[in-house]
Amino acid sequence: MTTPAREIEMVWHDLTPRLLEVARVRRVTPRTVRVTLTGEDLDGFCYAAPDDHVKVFFPEPGAELPVMPTLGPDGLEPPPPGSPRPTFRDYTVRHLRPERRELDIDFVLHGHGPAGVWAAQAAPGQQLGVLGPRGSNINPMNFDWYLFAGDETALPSLAAWLEKVPAGVPVFAFVDVADAAEEQDLTVTADTTLVWLHRDTSIDGGHLERAIRGLEVPPGAGYCWVAGEAGSLKPIRRYLRTIGLPRDWVEVDGYWKRGTVNLDHHDDDED
């Protein structure tokens, strides 16, 4: 019997800046708002993997339009001297409906920062810039088991991962949310163990790490994907590197950093 190839392939896409309009805004939970963006600019948008993400460009307070990105041969570049600087943050593609020219993005309402503050007042007719996805990590979805974990910022990807795993493959998913009201209805197979962890009843905030360490790692080839607050992920990353999986099969990505403005940090390799 031959072993199936389990390579994670990066596929690159053209970078096109798009100016999109808010079509709808819906509260998914008390702390998460789903913004549906639309517009002709969505034509040709590539969405190929659960963790595909874009840079979202926000208008300055009081302005109608965002400052759009300056692109050079290698992608995003600093604006020319004297030009206004764009304000942007990374967000995951939650759904794309190309036939309706609609893109959903789920924003966590955490109360700070240009993105969090914008999302709290989002309304139809407003405009945002979108750049990306720059590339997609294509997972062959033929692993023997999967582990997905993260906080609310990871949920858009995590939900898409759960929708993609074939039936019959064991999946373990641990989601760290503020409280029970933040749980979302997710599509899972019968072979998925989905555990919600609530920060309001956590003794010390270390429950995500404990849950992952408490999992009896199944035999065979596993793929692990974890995202959330960078500091809390460090011990999880260290632990997952000891369970005997090749490095490419363990993706632990800091999506935001407590007390730090998120300009462009993916903390994938931080220890």
Ligand X SMILES: Cc1cc2nc3c(=O)[nH]c(=O)nc-3n(C[C@H](O)[C@H](O)[C@H](O)COP(=O)(O)OP(=O)(O)OC[C@H]3O[C@@H](n4cnc5c(N)ncnc54)[C@H](O)[C@@H]3O)c2cc1C
Q: Does 255 bind ligand X (CB under 6 A)?
A: yes
Of the candidate spans 7-15, 109-117, 162-170, 180-188, the one that interacts with ligand X by CB under 6 A turns out to be 109-117
Of the candidate spans 38-46, 70-78, 121-129, 260-268, the one that interacts with ligand X by CB under 6 A turns out to be 260-268
Contact (Cβ atoms closer than 8 angstroms) between residue 25 and residue 106? no
Of the candidate spans 102-110, 138-146, 190-198, 241-249, the one that interacts with ligand X by CB under 6 A turns out to be 102-110
> What are the angstrom distances between the C-alpha of 80 and each of 29, 69, 218?
40, 11, 53
Q: Does 106 bind ligand X (CB under 6 A)?
A: yes
**Nearest approach, Cβ of 145 to ligand X (angstroms)?**
24
3-state per-residue secondary structure call for the chain: CCCCCCCCEEEECCCCEEEEEEEEEEEEECCEEEEEEECHHHCCCCCCCCCCEEEEEECCCCCCCCCCCEEECCEEECCCCCCCCCEEEEEECCEEEHHHCEEEEEEECCCCHHHHHHHHHCCCCCEEEEECCCEEEECCCCCCEEEEEECHHHHHHHHHHHHHCCCCCCEEEEEEECCHHHCCCCCCCCCEEEEEEEHHHCCCCCHHHHHHHHCCCCCCCEEEEEEEEHHHHHHHHHHHCCCCCCHHHEEEEEEEECCECCCCCCCCCCC
Q: Does 92 bind ligand X (CB under 6 A)?
A: yes
Indicate the residue among 50 and 222 with the shorter CB distance to ligand X: 50
Indicate the residue among 181 and 193 with the shorter CB distance to ligand X: 181
One of 115, 130, 147, 177 touching ligand X (CB under 6 A): 115
Indicate the residue among 147 and 155 with the shorter CB distance to ligand X: 155
Q: Residues 152 to 191: which contact ligand X by CB under 6 A?
A: 153, 156
One of 248, 260, 268, 269 touching ligand X (CB under 6 A): 260
Of the candidate spans 15-23, 162-170, 213-221, 261-269, the one that interacts with ligand X by CB under 6 A turns out to be 261-269
**Nearest approach, Cβ of 20 to ligand X (angstroms)?**
16
Query: What x-and-dash track marks residues 52-91 binding ligand X by CB under 6 A?
Result: -x-----------------------------------xxx
Of the candidate spans 12-20, 103-111, 200-208, 217-225, the one that interacts with ligand X by CB under 6 A turns out to be 103-111
Contacting positions for ligand X (CB under 6 A)? 53, 89-92, 106-108, 110, 112-116, 153, 156, 255-262, 266
